[in-house]
Amino acid sequence: MGAFVNGQLREAMASYNGEYLPGYCVNGNYITNDYFKIYKVNKSDNSQTNWDWANWGQMVPYGAPFIDVNNNGIYEPAIDTPGVKNAKETIFYCMTDAYQNSHTNGEGFGGGTLPLGAELHMTAWAYDAPGLQDVQFINFEIINKSASTWNAVKTGIVCDPDLGDANDDYIGCDTNLLLGYGYNGDNYDAVYGTSPPAVGILLLTSPLNRNITPNVRLGMTSFTDMKNQGTAPPPCEGDPLGQSYPAYLMLSGFKKDSTSYLDVTQNPPKKTKFEFTGDPETNTGWTEVKGYIGNCGLDSTGSVHAPSPPGDRRFILGSGVNNFNILPGESQKFVIAQLIARDSGNLKSVTKLKQLSIFVRNFYEQNFPIIVNQISTNIPLSFELKQNYPNPFNPSTIIRYQIKDSRFVTLKVYDILGREIETLVNEFQKAGTYETQFPNKRLSNNQLASGVYFYKLVAGDFVAVKKMVLMK
């Protein structure tokens, strides 16, 4: 993650050494104690067999998930269950980049700047249910715990897939699925043998840009590669080792010197922030077989190397834009799934990976259907339900509310006759300011008639109702 703070670039990176440490952040200051560590619980554990299970409550205030067995909105160690519901295993880690000495030029991908003052709550979980055995979900909650606004924020997943033998890989992306992936350059791998698998990163939830109206999710704003320095790449395409601004450029979808990547399937080659968007199995669109141009120095021309020689690929799945700013206390969410799939050939494995991605997205949206964003962790002085915006709306609107202490919250939408249309929130929430969208992905705008609707917030003994208008 990179951003400008008072005109100065700051980064929080985690590739080889990492700039995060266990702990939390207050006004940009690093704080920790012995309870801050990686927690891991298995659904077969209990408080007698697992220290992490017994002490899970220490992390609940920082976002560690739990199953509220008696639905009273309070984590009770002897009653409630740590972890994500139905998951075989859950990992939680609260960390921050606020310790200045952890920022070094030796981090790997950029780094070495002053800290951002970021607090990161990471939840990783996996299932043993059929169809999900080769999938791991990861939720990153990113909070600006400094006293300054982060401007022009760029976030991203930097992935070195090393699929079996690391030196014979290709990469690609599917911009419709929001999927970046790696696969073998031919049908044999020294580790996997014949018909090697494909591995991917699926973007399930991206940060929400609240600097424009209506708010929009950034999605995947770039997919590019960087090449291993040991393979003598073009000078602008190698790893940005200890290079903070070049790393920021790569998160933005450019090469290290601001040069654009070029789509070789266009005539003339077209500048792009998305590499290899074609289909490897059918070789339609831009694939590694069609080749690449190793242009540098802001050059928009060059020789096409086709096919691309397989090698040690790294890719960057970016999500950020220049008008994306994060205020002090504001929270953002970045959710991905790591997944792997294998079929009867290296190219068929990519197709199967895409099919698995569709299944995983459907599973995630059905089981985590309502996206509720905690947009600030600052504790409000009162409970309040805000007027939705825009209003009237079409096709969707944002509903924002604040709660001054932790409790169980419901937010429901009703039609003019008092019939419940949608439950937007039904969970325990910490004190803070939240927002969600109506209608959500499960309920399309086409299912709703124009007219007046009401939304009702219940947080303990606090109840508030407001009116909104859908105008088609």
Q: Which tens digit of pLDDT belongs to each residue from 407-442? A: 888 899 999 988 888 888 877 788 889 999 898 755
Of the residues 322, 352, 367, the one at which a domain ends: 367
Same domain (yes/no): 341, 237: yes
Same domain (yes/no): 172, 248: yes
Q: How many residues does the chain have?
A: 472
pTM to 2 decimal places: 0.84
Q: Which tens digit of pLDDT belongs to each residue from 289-345? A: 999 999 999 999 999 999 999 999 999 999 999 999 999 988 898 999 999 999 999
Per DSSP, the residues of 158-208 read EE----SSTTSEEEEEETTTTEEEEEESSSEETTTEES--EEEEEEEE--E
DSSP state letter for 310: P
Report the pLDDT value the prediction gives residue 212, as an integer from 0 to 100.
Answer: 81
Is the distance from CB of 32 to CB of 21 less than 8 angstroms?
yes
Is the distance from CB of 389 to CB of 401 less than 8 angstroms?
no
Number of domains present in the structure of the chain? 2
Q: Which tens digit of pLDDT belongs to each residue from 14-27? A: 998 899 999 999 99
Same domain (yes/no): 346, 452: no
In this predicted structure, the answer to whether residue 457 has a pLDDT above a threshold of 80 is yes
Same domain (yes/no): 250, 378: no
Q: Which tens digit of pLDDT belongs to each residue from 346-361? A: 999 999 999 999 999 9
- Residue 126 sits at the vertex; the CA angle it makes with 161 and 77, to the nearest 5 degrees, is 135
Considering only residues 395 and 173, tell me which one the structure prediction assigns the higher pLDDT: 173
% of the chain at pLDDT higher than 90: 77
Report the pLDDT value the prediction gives residue 211, as an integer from 0 to 100.
Answer: 85
In this predicted structure, the answer to whether residue 64 has a pLDDT above a threshold of 90 is yes
Same domain (yes/no): 354, 380: no
Specify the 3-state DSSP secondary structure of 366.
helix
Q: How many CA atoms lie within 13 A of 198 on its CB side?
A: 32
Residue 292 lies in a domain: no
Residue 69 lies in a domain: no
Average pLDDT on 1-12 reads: 98
Answer whether the bond into residue 395 is a cis peptide, omega within 30°.
yes
Same domain (yes/no): 191, 223: yes
**397, 418, 464 from 469: Cα distances, Å:** 10, 15, 17
Structure tokens at 68: 């509220």
Same domain (yes/no): 110, 153: yes
Q: Which tens digit of pLDDT belongs to each residue from 179-215? A: 999 999 999 999 999 999 999 999 999 998 888 876 7
Same domain (yes/no): 396, 363: no
Report the pLDDT value the prediction gives residue 71, as an integer from 0 to 100.
Answer: 72
Structure tokens at 446: 């086409």
Own/partner long-range contacts of 100-103 (Cβ < 8 Å, ≥24 apart): 102/18, 102/19, 102/20, 102/21, 103/11, 103/19
Same domain (yes/no): 342, 250: yes
Residue 7 lies in a domain: yes
- CATH code at position 426: 2.60.40.1930
Q: Report d(CA 227, CA 277) in Å as an integer.
A: 18
| Non-local CB neighbours of 147 within 8 Å, separated by 6+ positions | 27, 28, 117, 328
Specify the 3-state DSSP secondary structure of 63.
coil
Spatial strand order in the sheet of 432-438: 373-376, 432-438, 397-403, 384-385
Specify the 3-state DSSP secondary structure of 261.
strand
Of the residues 325, 341, 367, the one at which a domain ends: 367
Rg (CA), the chain: 23
In this predicted structure, the answer to whether residue 283 has a pLDDT above a threshold of 90 is yes
Residue 441 lies in a domain: yes
In this predicted structure, the answer to whether residue 229 has a pLDDT above a threshold of 80 is no
Q: For the chain, how many helices (H) and strands (E)?
A: 3, 34
| Non-local CB neighbours of 167 within 8 Å, separated by 6+ positions | 310, 311, 312
Same domain (yes/no): 391, 242: no
Structure tokens at 155: 């976030």
Of the residues 325, 352, 367, the one at which a domain ends: 367
Residue 209 lies in a domain: yes
Residue 154: band (very low, low, confident or very high) from pLDDT cuts 50, 70, 90: very high
SS (H, E, C) 414-471: EECCCCEEEEEEEEEECCEEEEEEECCCCCCHHHCCCEEEEEEEEECCEEEEEEEEEC
Residue 66 lies in a domain: no
Q: Report d(CA 352, CA 340) in Å as an integer.
A: 9
Same domain (yes/no): 197, 334: yes
Specify the 3-state DSSP secondary structure of 73.
coil
In this predicted structure, the answer to whether residue 178 has a pLDDT above a threshold of 90 is yes
With b meaning 16 or more CB within 10 Å and e meaning fewer, what string describes 242-281?
bbbbbbbbbbbbbbbbebbbbbbbeeebeebebbbbbbbb
10 Å Cβ neighbour count for 167? Answer: 15
Residue 124 lies in a domain: no
Considering only residues 368 and 443, tell me which one the structure prediction assigns the higher pLDDT: 368
Residue 47 lies in a domain: no
Instruction: Give me the chain's average pLDDT, please.
Output: 92
Task: Find residue 402's DSSP bridge partners.
Answer: 384, 433
Is the distance from CB of 462 to CB of 73 less than 8 angstroms?
no
Same domain (yes/no): 378, 348: no
Q: Which tens digit of pLDDT belongs to each residue from 91-101? A: 999 999 999 99
Report the pLDDT value the prediction gives residue 169, as an integer from 0 to 100.
Answer: 95
Q: Report d(CA 14, CA 227) in Å as an integer.
A: 18
Is the distance from CB of 453 to CB of 445 less than 8 angstroms?
no
Domain that holds residue 414: 373-470
